[in-house]
Chains A and B, each alone.
Chain A
Amino acid sequence: MRRFSWFNATSLTLGFAFLYIPMIILIIFSFNASELVTVWAGFSTRWYGELLGNEAFLDAAWVTLQVAVMSSTIATVLGTMAATVMVRGGRFMGRTLFSGMIYAPLVMPEVITGLSLLLLFIGIGLDRGVLTIVLAHTTFSMCYVSVVVSSRLVSFDRSLEEAALDLGCSPFEAFRLVTLPIIAPAVISGWLLAFTLSLDDLVIASFTAGPSATTLPIKIFSSIRLGVSPEINALSTIMIAIVTVGVLTASIVSKRASVAQQRDEQAAARAT
Chain B
Amino acid sequence: MAQTEFAPWNDPEAKPLIQFKNVTKRFGAFTAIDDLTQDIYAQEFFALLGPSGCGKTTMMRMLAGFENPTEGQILLSGQNMAEVPPNKRAVNMMFQSYALFPHLSVWDNIAFGLRRARMPKPEIDARVDEMLRLTRLEKFAKRKPHQISGGQRQRVALARSLAKAPKLLLLDEPLGALDAKLRQDTQFELMDIQEKTGTTFVIVTHDQEEAMTVASRVAVMDEGRIVQVATPAEIYEAPNTVYVADFIGDVNIIEGAATPSGDGYDIAWAEGQAPFHAKTQTKLSNGQRCYLAIRPEKIGIATEKPEGADNTVQGKIIDIAYLGNLSTYHVELPGGKMIKAQTANTRRLSRRALTWEDDVWLSWTNTGSVVLDR
Residues of A within 8 A of B (CB): 157, 159-160, 162-170, 173, 177-178, 181-182, 261, 264-265, 267-269, 271-272
In the complex, which of the residues A157, A168, A181 contacts B117, with contact meaning CB atoms closer than 8 Å? A168
CB A164 to nearest CB in B, in angstroms, measures 7
| B64 part of interface (Cβ distance < 8 Å) | yes
Stretch at the interface among B98-106, B202-210, B328-336: B98-106
Q: Are A165 and B101 neighbours in the complex by a CB distance under 8 Å?
A: no
Q: Are A267 and B147 neighbours in the complex by a CB distance under 8 Å?
A: yes
Q: Are B146 and A169 neighbours in the complex by a CB distance under 8 Å?
A: no
Stretch at the interface among B85-93, B249-257, B317-325, B358-366: B85-93
Q: Which of B144-164 contact A (CB under 8 A)?
A: 144, 146-152, 160-161, 164
Q: Are A162 and B101 neighbours in the complex by a CB distance under 8 Å?
A: no
Q: Are A165 and B86 neighbours in the complex by a CB distance under 8 Å?
A: yes
In the complex, which of the residues B66, B102, B103, B144 contacts A162, with contact meaning CB atoms closer than 8 Å? B66
| B112 part of interface (Cβ distance < 8 Å) | yes
Q: Are B160 and A167 neighbours in the complex by a CB distance under 8 Å?
A: yes
Q: Are B92 and A166 neighbours in the complex by a CB distance under 8 Å?
A: yes
The CA of A153 and the CA of B85, in the complex, are separated in Å by 23
| B95 part of interface (Cβ distance < 8 Å) | yes
| B96 part of interface (Cβ distance < 8 Å) | yes
Q: Is the interface of B mostly helix, strand, loop or mixed?
A: mixed
Q: Are A163 and B95 neighbours in the complex by a CB distance under 8 Å?
A: yes
Number of interface residues of B (CB under 8 A): 33
Q: Which of A166, A181, A265, A268 has the most CB of B within 10 A?
A: A166
Residues of A within 8 A of B113 (CB): 166-168
The CA of A269 and the CA of B149, in the complex, are separated in Å by 5
CB A167 to nearest CB in B, in angstroms, measures 3
For this complex, 7 residue pairs linking A to B, each with C-beta atoms less than 8 Å apart, are A165-B66, A168-B117, A168-B164, A182-B103, A261-B146, A268-B148, A272-B182
Residues of B within 8 A of A267 (CB): 147
In the complex, which of the residues A163, A261, A272 contacts B149, with contact meaning CB atoms closer than 8 Å? A272
Q: Are A164 and B112 neighbours in the complex by a CB distance under 8 Å?
A: yes
Residues of B within 8 A of A271 (CB): 148-149, 152
In the complex, which of the residues A169, A261, A268, A269 contacts B116, with contact meaning CB atoms closer than 8 Å? A169
Q: Are A265 and B146 neighbours in the complex by a CB distance under 8 Å?
A: yes
> Other CB < 8 Å A-B pairs besides A167-B164, A168-B113, 10 of them?
A159-B95, A162-B93, A163-B101, A163-B160, A165-B87, A166-B87, A169-B87, A177-B112, A181-B103, A267-B147
